[in-house]
Structure 1
């Protein structure tokens, strides 16, 4: 990366691409101060910023690798940037000579027609161009569309409606169609603004440590570089390939229901019972009892049951999150040791999680983190016999607590999901079970990739809606996959059922069709199981689900090749079409279809009442419709029949897995 000076500024160039263009009348850097107001209510945040000062730093003096910025010649230097790197990787380190600065705005050179992707796990828009994206881990919201009734009701009742940019997993990283990536190394609140033709504006509520740039000649190489940068995940456990992980939370009856599902022909690799810890009942629905140990009143003889299932190739999975209920057995133990975050008076901070209170285990305290990893996950879960779990609620760190490391909670909030993932990974490694035990998370931030073996898409509504339904899962998989998260999946049938919104049989059917073409296939009963249709309550739904699990297992040889590729190269299993067809500009904005590895194209039916489906097939290949065997030329839209059980899936003509794909027609 090099600085090219001009008579009135400079250009910062990486591998021939201009990234920063500074002129006195068009500065690339602004600095100032702001006073933020951040209020949290059960994981939902209301954030406002009063900008006290925003000043363009028009005067830049280049001295070797350093650039000193001031408001005008003769004025004090306010920021110094130090440039480093080669022709593939570069960084710009920040130093504030003015200690009052707590806001930075950096303008990145942009081109008309440019596309940008990333931002962590984005659920509404894959191509981020044309919109502003705040990056703050939170509940994603119910509905996530301010024009809808369900979002309005969620906002009124609990400030929980959300918007298009709300996400459990933000990350200040994006990839550009100009074949470079940008990453901001900070945990502060930030925002990416892609609304202008000539520049992208990066807003950061702190002086960042640095901004990193990566350039590669192809998108594949750029994605590989992202995985190298943020961490490589272990391969999926071998037991996962046995079929779906069935989510039931019905106490001892879960085992009886599992037998009916297996008897219907379903291939099952795991039984996931998040209620293994017991239940409490709230107005939201049945909630788990947040005291992380087996409740043998609800699950009598659980250890023996788990061992019997494992003998049949079916693993047992549970649930955990980083908070402890005040009325549980673990709370006094952690409280006596001083392991909780504190309030402003130095007492244990208590957080309302919806009709019950919890303490926040302070993972910035090494002793607290080690205690949770060993005492809770190690002893109560791994030693008990669990093979995996949902590691939930990484986005909930309140911003008004005091932490052991002395860092403002507003700066630790985004970092919290990564600390939580590290605690889980440490516990698994302590038992020598990395790559055998599978935990999955919805919350994330920079660096979560190196600890979390599997993402899940969070709590979609039980519907086909554009911003909170089935289709958002695809966008989440594609955006996060570009940043080193190779494995992604979702709750088949969705999760959130509120205000009379309930599952239909069609929704479960279509979601299961998509789930068969993802790395892990898993069901969930949702937040209100009794109000919603379950996979074992309708014979036709169960028959269809069983067949989709057979599709998943049939494709295991292909999936294993993708897992091997993820391990060696960091490429995600689910990929945007442009990753392998970068010369086809039509693929750049497609977010409702994906490549399952290099050879399968999957275009899930994500709207109700459809029996035909139209999708785009990239040019540069011929495509075979897996159900009919008909061949189509790439480079155009095609419409195919899409009855239940035949989701629109195509494979490349000439694939070495062609016979395997053709075998899907016999299932």
Structure 2
């Protein structure tokens, strides 16, 4: 980095690209005080800030690599920024400061991506994005009836910026990246044409800066910083993971899938722990051990499945229900977060209470990793699981490490991922056992081997349907998350919104061109169409699993590339076509590796797909063999079973891709 001074200010740049500019009339740093209000209701948050002070630090004095900021010449220094390597270190001299606003350089036109897993907008330019892990919400669009109903009935409608996985990191079309090292609530504001503003509800530890000559190199730097996943387990390439929660009948239904020609790699039964019946319907029993009343002889059946080439997966989250046998063990050992009276803090999940296992307590983390995941799950025979609810840490509990829960809330998903990863590592199963998470924050990449897109609505809606999964995969992939997938057919069914056969089939088509195919019965299985209930849907699903298995050699190559370079399997078009600015805002199509371009149908009733092909290559339509020049908008037929997929002419995988037309 280079710090260039002038008579009345300075410019800080990296690799010749300006990052901060400061003049008394346009300061780059503001500090002050605020008092926040945060209300949590089952993972949803209502947050506002009362700003007591916001002062521009107009005066800057530079000494070596340190910059001392004050409100005016002769006034006390309030903050010192120190430039070290590619970091900007913060040192607040005024202990009362709990709000920081930093303005970073933008050069129009500039595109901005990242922010963790962003479901609505891949290009974040022109919008404001809070960085706070939470439930994403139902509908996520304040103009829709379903979001309004969710807000009225459960404070759960959400908005475009709500996400399970935020991360205070962004990269821009200037080929630079900025990371804020903090767990505090923060906001990325990209609405101003003159600057990007980062707001932080604490004094951050540092700002980290990255620069590269290409997007590929920049993504590689970020994946090295945050962590890289192991290669995908070999068993995954065998087909889809079938999600069923029907007790022992799940095994019978699995055979129906197989008889229809479905390629199967795993059976996922989240109800392996048994059910709790409430007025809201059947819920899982949150105690994390096999329930052999619901699944008689489960351990032997898991072994039989494995002998037949199929793995068994389950479910776990970081809570323990008060009426389960694990709760008193954890409470006696002091493993739970506590309330203001020093007692076990209980969280109401709707007619049952749970304790929060305190992962800031090393003994509690070790116990959960060994006794719960290690013995009850891995030793029992599970090869994977959904690791749910990482975004649910209540903000009013007391934790073992003494840090305010408001500062630990964002860190919680990473701690939860680490617990799961340590359990897997303890059995020497890293790269074989596969757990997947929806929640995340900085550093989750180093522990979680697979993301899933959370709880989309069972529809084609713009902000909560099928199309959002693509944006989520692309945004998170730029920050070092190589593998992403989703619930085929969506999950959330509320207010009469139910799945259609068309939705399941279109979702299956997209999933065939992602690292993992996994189905889900949704939150209301009996109200929604299931894959095995409709012969046409089942046959279509079988064909798409055959497409997935056919592409296994290519996916294996992508998996190795991810381990070697940090490049994700699903990539924005601009990652390999950075000279083609048209690609910078495309989020409803993606590159699958460097050689496949996938443009799923994501709107109801469509049998053709309009899309843009990047310039610089010719593209071959996999189903017809027709060759198209890049740099143009095209329209192709997209009947069921033949989504708009193209391969790059001259690819070393040409024979493999051409073979798709014969399946």
TM-score tier by shorter-chain length is over 0.9
1:503 maps to which residue? 499
2:6 maps to which residue? 6
In structure 1, distance between residues paired with 2:407 and 2:498? 38
Is residue 133 from structure 1 mapped to residue 126 from structure 2 by the alignment?
no
In structure 2, distance between residues paired with 1:395 and 1:247? 23
1:44 maps to which residue? 44
1:249 maps to which residue? 245
2:270 maps to which residue? 274
The TM-score with structure 1 as length reference comes to: 0.99
1:174 maps to which residue? 170
Choose the corresponding residue for 1:359, options 347, 355, 362. Answer: 355
SS in 2 for 1:146: coil
2:584 maps to which residue? 588
Is residue 545 from structure 1 mapped to residue 541 from structure 2 by the alignment?
yes
Is residue 185 from structure 1 mapped to residue 190 from structure 2 by the alignment?
no
2:621 maps to which residue? 625
In structure 2, distance between residues paired with 1:379 and 1:163? 40
In structure 1, distance between residues paired with 2:653 and 2:537? 29
2:114 maps to which residue? 118
1:15 maps to which residue? 15
Deviation at 1:284, TM superposition (A): 4.1
In structure 2, distance between residues paired with 1:438 and 1:545? 23
Deviation at 1:8, TM superposition (A): 0.8
1:635 maps to which residue? 631
2:153 maps to which residue? 157
With 95-104 and 282-291 compared, the bigger mean Cα shift is at: 282-291
In the alignment, is the contact (CA less than 8 A) between 1:42 and 1:354 conserved in 2?
no
2:80 maps to which residue? 80
In structure 2, distance between residues paired with 1:284 and 1:662? 49
In structure 2, distance between residues paired with 1:649 and 1:279? 41
SS in 2 for 1:220: helix
In structure 2, distance between residues paired with 1:203 and 1:338? 36
In structure 2, distance between residues paired with 1:331 and 1:381? 17
Residue correspondence of structure 1 range 436-451 to structure 2 within 5 A: 436-451=432-447
SS in 2 for 1:107: strand
Q: Spell out, residue by residue over 1:320-365, the C-alpha distance to the aligned partner (whole angstroms, 9 max, x if none).
A: 0000001111001101111000000100000011221100000000
1:109 maps to which residue? 105
SS in 2 for 1:83: strand
Is residue 57 from structure 1 mapped to residue 53 from structure 2 by the alignment?
no
Is residue 196 from structure 1 mapped to residue 192 from structure 2 by the alignment?
yes
1:226 maps to which residue? 222
Choose the corresponding residue for 1:344, options 334, 340, 343. Answer: 340
Choose the corresponding residue for 2:657, options 641, 661, 665. Answer: 661
In structure 1, distance between residues paired with 2:215 and 2:314? 37
Residue correspondence of structure 1 range 410-421 to structure 2 within 5 A: 410-421=406-417
In structure 2, distance between residues paired with 1:28 and 1:582? 30
SS in 2 for 1:491: coil
1:605 maps to which residue? 601
In the alignment, is the contact (CA less than 8 A) between 1:285 and 1:527 conserved in 2?
no
SS in 2 for 1:646: coil
Is residue 423 from structure 1 mapped to residue 419 from structure 2 by the alignment?
yes
Is residue 476 from structure 1 mapped to residue 472 from structure 2 by the alignment?
yes
Give runs of ≥4 in structure 1 deviating > 2 Å: 281-286
In the alignment, is the contact (CA less than 8 A) between 1:284 and 1:527 conserved in 2?
no
Deviation at 1:531, TM superposition (A): 0.2
Runs (5+) with no aligned partner, structure 2: none
SS in 2 for 1:522: coil
In the alignment, is the contact (CA less than 8 A) between 1:286 and 1:527 conserved in 2?
no
Choose the corresponding residue for 1:456, options 438, 452, 457. Answer: 452
Deviation at 1:2, TM superposition (A): 1.5
SS in 2 for 1:225: helix
Distance 1:284 1:117, change over 3 A: farther
Choose the corresponding residue for 1:567, options 563, 569, 574. Answer: 563
1:615 maps to which residue? 611
In structure 1, distance between residues paired with 2:456 and 2:63? 52
2:283 maps to which residue? 287
In structure 1, distance between residues paired with 2:194 and 2:310? 55
SS in 2 for 1:117: strand
In structure 2, distance between residues paired with 1:233 and 1:378? 20
Deviation at 1:185, TM superposition (A): 0.3
In structure 1, distance between residues paired with 2:148 and 2:36? 25
Please give the root-mean-square deviation of Cα atoms over the aligned residues, in Å.
0.5
Residue correspondence of structure 1 range 513-528 to structure 2 within 5 A: 513-528=509-524
Deviation at 1:399, TM superposition (A): 0.4
Deviation at 1:84, TM superposition (A): 1.4
SS in 1 for 2:531: coil
In the alignment, is the contact (CA less than 8 A) between 1:439 and 1:452 conserved in 2?
yes
Q: Spell out, residue by residue over 1:385-430, the C-alpha distance to the aligned partner (whole angstroms, 9 max, x if none).
A: 0000000000000000000000000000000000000000000000
